[in-house]
Chains A and B, each alone.
Chain A
Amino acid sequence: MKPPAEHVHWLFATGFLFLGLCLVAEAVVGRELWRRRRWRAYLWPGLALTIGVLIMPLSVFFTASTLHMLAHWSWAQVAMLAGAAQLALVHGRLRNRLWELTVPLALVVSGAAFSFHEPREWLYSRAAFLHHATGWVLIVGAVFPLVAVLRPSSRTLSVGYAATVVVLAVLLFADRDVAPVFGHLSPLAGTPHR
């Protein structure tokens, strides 16, 4: 009953796509109007927290290696931390804006985990390529929420952050367990399928 790894990636891609679209909308209309309805203010922090909680079972059921388990655990921890901190900021329980740094922290830790838990080279297979690419997209994309802590009203930074999450969703949707990338597939990877 355990889903193939590619299905898990596609399911998380769905969550990240919805999260990314919410961030795009918030960047377009501005934070003030976005938070005019209370439920909307809680929407994406709640979604981030939920994604973090849902990553936890991955570390239990997908135990291909210790590195995989550690990577999944670290994602779960930082995603939950970022989601919970954002929820507390929206609710008013936390007031120090430095808690916003949990978002770039989550992106950097997730990006590093994505890259480091893929031991194979970039062109080994599409999955290997996408793990490396996703890792670097997250690490570079962390610049947007990091600088936004200093310039919270910048629309460019908000759009950049939203675009990072949408690109993450696209990369996760592109994942296949065994498939070539740019015509390359290691003979050790197995039999490719469409």
Chain B
Amino acid sequence: MAIDVRHSAPAETSAHGTRAAKVVSAIGPLTVLAGVIWALLQPYRITLLDPHGQGLWWLAVQPPLLVVAVGVAFHLVVARPLLEDLEANGG
């Protein structure tokens, strides 16, 4: 029995590329969402909401905001160029 597989490999590559693009484009927003949910669950971790009497380090280092910043930085610096490469690759 002969099976025609001439178009299956590019189709698989394209499907994988599409899946990969979806995952890569979701990483940054999901990280931002995690930071926002954390801030809502533990608002006292955001010292900017009540900065009076806070020391330098407590104002400079606010974990939920750091998580949001990582998500934004990843999306802008890493994910966008990576998505362009995936698109150019036929994803």
Task: Please list the residues of chain A having a beta carbon within 8 angstroms of any beta carbon in chain B.
Answer: 1, 3-4, 7, 10-11, 13-14, 17-18, 21-22, 24-25, 28-30, 33-34, 36-37, 40, 43, 173, 194
A3 touches B85 (CB 8 A): no
Pick from B20, B24, B74, B81: contact of A18, CB below 8 A: B74
Interface residues on B, range: 20 to 34
B82 touches A10 (CB 8 A): no
B44 touches A10 (CB 8 A): no
By Cβ-Cβ distance, the 3 closest A-B pairs, closest first, are A3-B57, A14-B66, A7-B61
Q: Which residues of B contact A29 (CB under 8 A)?
A: 20, 24, 82, 85-86
Instruction: Please measure, in the bound complex, the distance between the C-alpha atom of A112 and the C-alpha atom of B62, giving whole angstroms.
Output: 29
Task: Please list the residues of chain B having a beta carbon within 8 angstroms of any beta carbon in chain A.
Answer: 20, 23-24, 27-28, 31, 42, 44, 56-58, 61, 63, 66-67, 69-70, 73-74, 78-79, 81-82, 85-86, 89
Instruction: Please measure, in the bound complex, the distance between the C-alpha atom of A7 and the C-alpha atom of B78, giving whole angstroms.
Output: 26
Pick from A22, A28, A40, A173: contact of B67, CB below 8 A: A173
A11 touches B24 (CB 8 A): no
A18 touches B70 (CB 8 A): yes
Q: Closest chain A residue to B19 by CB distance?
A: A28
Interface residues of chain A: helix, strand, loop or mixed (majority)? helix
Instruction: Please measure, in the bound complex, the distance between the C-alpha atom of A24 and the C-alpha atom of B82, giving whole angstroms.
Output: 12
B85 touches A36 (CB 8 A): yes
Q: Which residues of B contact A4 (CB under 8 A)?
A: 57
Q: Closest chain B residue to A43 by CB distance?
A: B78
7 examples of A-B residue contacts, CB within 8 angstroms: A3-B57, A18-B70, A21-B70, A21-B78, A25-B74, A30-B20, A33-B89
List 11 additional A-B contacts (Cβ < 8 Å) besides A21-B31, A25-B74, A194-B42.
A4-B57, A7-B61, A10-B61, A14-B69, A18-B70, A21-B27, A22-B74, A28-B24, A36-B85, A173-B63, A194-B44
Q: A14-B66, A18-B70, A28-B24 are in contact. Are A40 and B78 (CB under 8 A)?
A: yes
Q: Closest chain B residue to A21 by CB distance?
A: B74
